[in-house]
Structure 1
Amino acid sequence: MLLRGRGTSSARSATRQPRVRPEAPLRPLKERAGGFWPAPGNGSPLPGQRAGAGTRATSERQARARRVGGTALGGTPLKSPGLPERFFSASGSEFRGEWFRRRTRAARQNGGAQRPLPVARAAKKDAQKSRQEKVKEHKEKPLPRRRPLMSKPVDDVYLTWLYRRPSYGLEQAVGMLKRFQELDFTHPKQFVYINVFLDMALHKKKKVDPFSSGVALPHRFTDEVNKVLVFTENEQEAEAAREHGAAIVGGVELIKWILEDEIQADFYVAVPAIIPKLIPLRNKLRKKYPSTKRNSLGSDIPRMVQFFRECHEYSVEDESVIKTRIARLDMPTEHIIANLKTIVQDICTFKPSNFDPIVQRLVIRSSTSEGLLLNLDGILPQVEKAEEKEEEDAADEDQQKPAQESVST
């Protein structure tokens, strides 16, 4: 008998694989967090697949996953991340119920709150230990010893942060600014500025509100004239205001134009008779609203107009700093010093004299030079010293009275 095929029956039987009994249909896999998990159901086919198809492919896929070591299609692990190995079977595809029982028991003991995973609990303990160690090291570590600042440098070139900032007298500082201009070949008529650093503190948490003011300097350094508006309904007062240089004079009819920004001025002056009719302008003008505190409300219109046309205005910036110009560098030194003292004395009036001086630091500079720290001795008004003398005199009188009474007896 002639045999057909690749080999004999013995060879065929030797290479033949044993027939595998078909397994029960497996439930289709559904992608979830941490891997592919069986979807709920009783072996229903996938969408678009006829009944009975894919059984062998599913079983081969599961067998291949077991051989590889618990991985599904594409090498995605079946195990949930962050869980210990003892919670899984040897194949890695079956999840034990021990973890669920333990979590449920912990939730009951904690009143419904599940306690964290062992891995997270260990990480939390490590973080607490490291934080405690850092705090302990910070307490035990000695503070770095800072080198005390030296007063005066010996050489012309030195590191500024190793020495205290030098302070100069007023005349010396003005002379240095003039010398800087000559060495730098800058404009000789540049402006001179001052930066005044203020102490606004009062009782406890109270403090001085930021303010703005105008002062008449003894020596003018610019030809600019401020624009003054006068509110009055009296024809004689209006004529006097125009004669003394008021830019705009009028009554209630100006309110509409001011609210619409058709009319603007540097200062607003009014007489007491018209002030009740100007209430709509209070929010618009704010600090420029006429008031007796700013000397912009009164009956002496010629004096007020002349003062505000030539006065120098300054205001507080950043809640505690005043930056303003006071003179030109080509002016005589005496004129620059007089203007500076006038402004500083006006600033000191905004804080009661029984507190610390409102001026903490004073820096003078020109448009092109560095700032020079001034020594405040001789610049601040001597109000505090006069009060101290009065208190000492009163104490001496109290001591003398008992002595006189004893002599008389």
Structure 2
Amino acid sequence: MEPAGPCGFCPVGETRDARYTCPRCNAPYCSLRCYRAHGPCAEDFYRDQVLGELRGRSASPSRLASALRRLREQRETEDEPEAAGLSPGPAPGGPSGLWERLAPAEKAAFERLLSRGEAGRLLPPWRPWWWGRGDGPRLVEAVGDAAEPEPEPARPPAVPARIPALASLSRSPASPLVRFQLPNVLFAYAHALALYHGGGDDALLPDFCATLLGVSGALGAQRVFASCEEALQAAAHVLEAGEHPPGPLGTRGAMREASRILLGRGPADHKGYTLAALGHLARTLGRARKQTAAGEERDRLYRARKKCQYLLAWANENEAALGPLAADCARAHGAHAAAAEEVAALAGELERLWGGPVPPAAPAPRTLIEELPG
């Protein structure tokens, strides 16, 4: 390695060539002794990387683990500086917990509801219609001696009495990628339905449709996906980016419910729940379109409704493809859950390093170049 010039921290008269540079301010130094004399600048650099990972939007446990490893080595090393990995790493991308995914205004609003005791009013008992009695996790769990009776699942929406043949809706054969739009649509459907407690309130219909079309790229932006994983991750990314309100199912829960809908009642009837969900969506989008004045939003609702009708016809004629799609959704849910557990374990180690659940305050930014008065 070429020397970076004279070390700036050696005692007077003992200056040696600098073999290393600080990853934060590029100050040259020659040894561990001079690095320590430089102060905590490099440690701050890796600490900021870890904080960036935690405060980011995308779930990437491997990148958090890398940043955490650098911070741990930075604190524990007793050898040469290069053993601590003192070189700038890639820019953090960052996983975070559910709380970190909320926008500041959403956090403040939620805290106000908790402080006023009003949050419970926003969560009336409701169970998805595709759950049977005792199926699925509870969205709200009562605590105390007298738990309220478990609410009955909502009545399943009716499957359309007449579903057109797929060939009558398009002159071209259906693309093999059509199937991957279903997990994306059903993810958004499950999320919006849980968030708006069934979506039956006309006053909330515009919000329901805005969330549905915002989360589902297949409906809102007419996106095409190359795999089930890509379709689910696209919808999950929208929620994790905080572009729409988080729902009681959460990202992993919406993946799980998409799988349940695709699985249907079992091998004897895979398509029943999917047809009911798509028919429900088509009718809901039609109601919303009637309430919307002519313009871009009305056209967007029309296109989304036509897409639901096309997917309805496709699912009706391709029941055999729904079981494998349900399995793909279940695998994606499992992978997402495993990644979240890994992040939680790494966060626990961070708390141990920091000595508590709250990260230390970030240092004030340092001025590396300052213009001197003439």
Same fold (TM over 0.5): no
TM range (shorter): under 0.3
Tell me: higher relative CO, structure 1 or 2? Use CA pairs within 8 A at least 6 residues apart.
Answer: 1
What is the TM-score with the length of structure 1 in the denominator? 0.18
* Greater per-residue strand proportion: 1
Larger Rg: 1
